[in-house]
Structures are given as structure tokens and as C-alpha cells.
A and B are shown apart, each in its own frame.
Chain A
Amino acid sequence: DQQVKQNSPSLSVQEGRISILNCDYTNSMFDYFLWYKKYPAEGPTFLISISSIKDKNEDGRFTVFLNKSAKHLSLHIVPSQPGDSAVYFCAASDGTSYGKLTFGQGTILTVHP
């Protein structure tokens, strides 16, 4: 039972363009959503998060959008840079589980110079 899904295993974009990574969830109890970035041979690092009371959160080149009615969130990276090439995981928490996160399968982003 995959409660958090990233349906695109990979995404390729040109440097300077926008990268859009998508994530869908099924559990309506999720109220906090996060994006993590992972380079090879390293652990995931926190990128950006959003609470369910908001529909948008922005941090520099990274913006996360949340559509609660559609149970969908997306991460926008503008402009994309080659150093953004990594695996991106979305994750969700239901707020009752002491920070336990449910992760999606990840999307491999490749940004070409």
C-alpha cells in the first residue's frame, strides 16, 4: 500500500529551465509534507517543507505547492542548475507519529548544462 507516490522515476531538464517534480498521496491524515534531496552515496538531506494549512512555500529557487483536494504536491526548481541533479523524495507525516515519515519512491532529476 503505497501511501506516497512519485509516478515519474526520472526527469531530465536543461540548465536554466524549470524542473517540476510531482508527488501524490492517499492518506488524508497527512498534514505535513517535505522534500528531500539525495546524492549518490550520501544520506537524504532536507530541502523544503509545507504544512497542510498552506498551499505554497518558497525558499530561493525552490517552491513547493500543495493541492489538498487533489492530494497532490509538487516541487518547482527555477532556474535549474546542474548541481540540482540528484534523487528527490517527497515525504509526509500525519502529525501523530513523532516525526515518522512516509516516503515516495523518488525521482531522479538530471539537469543538463
Chain B
Amino acid sequence: GAGVSQSPSNKVTEKGKDVELRCDPISGHTALYWYRQSLGQGLEFLIYFQGNSAPDKSGLPSDRFSAERTGGSVSTLTIQRTQQEDSAVYLCASIEGQGAVYGYTFGSGTRLTVV
């Protein structure tokens, strides 16, 4: 597609339920990032995928969070047993190649609300 696509755009879930957030990067972009923005906070790095290399999961806030990237394309971020502090906008970005800090293309994000 022309841009990075994220779905759903909005998700309201009950505390304790699991959620899956999806990211479709730009075709051919090898690197994919997940960030989140909590209310009043900057964007917080969560996880990074580059090609077939092992992902950098150093930003995941707890073991309730996991992510995968199938076939080097679509990525799914899963949050198990959601908590209210998980409420945030979850943003996905992709770039072509590696280290191109100026080349991030962000999706529009998924606004997650845990009630």
C-alpha cells in the first residue's frame, strides 16, 4: 500500500481482556517499529523488527506484551490481560533499510482504551 496501515483505529476493551493490534508496513520496507504514546507523554519505543533478524524487544513494558512479524511484512502487537495503564495510542512505523532515522513513515495509530 501507499502508507503504513494500522487496525483497528480505535479499540475499547475491558480490563483483563487480550487485544491484538495490527500493522501493515509499506511494501518493501524491511524495518518495522512499534511505539506508544500515553497521555501527556512522548512516544515510547516498544519493539523493532529488521528483516529476518531477532527483534529488539527491549522496550516492551512487561511480559504481557508480545509482537510478531510474519513473513517480514505484517506485524501484530498482542497485549494480554490488559490493564488501565495500557491505554495509549499505539503507533507503527516502517523504513526502508537500516539506520535511516529520517525515513520513518508512521501509521495513524490505534487508540486503545482499557475500561
Give A contacts to B, CB under 8 Å. 2, 4, 6, 9, 32, 34, 41-46, 49, 89, 91, 93, 95, 98-106
Contact = CB atoms under 8 A, between A and B. Distances in A.
B42 A99 contact: no
A93 B106 contact: no
Contacts of A32: 101
B43 interface: yes
Interface residues of B, number: 29
B99 A43 contact: no
A54 B105 CA distance: 25
Secondary structure at the A interface, as helix, strand, loop or mixed, is: loop
B84 interface: no
Interface string B86-115: 000001010100111111111111000000
Interface of B: 4, 9, 31, 33, 35, 40-45, 48, 50, 56, 91, 93, 95, 98-109
Contacts of A91: 43
Nearest to B109: A43
Contact of B42 (A4, A95, A100): A4
B29 to A, nearest CB: 12
A34 B4 contact: no
B91 A41 contact: no
A49 B33 CA distance: 19
12 contacts: A2-B42, A6-B42, A41-B9, A41-B108, A42-B108, A44-B106, A46-B104, A98-B98, A99-B95, A100-B45, A105-B40, A106-B42
Given A43-B106, A103-B43, A104-B42, A98 B99 contact: yes
B101 A34 contact: yes
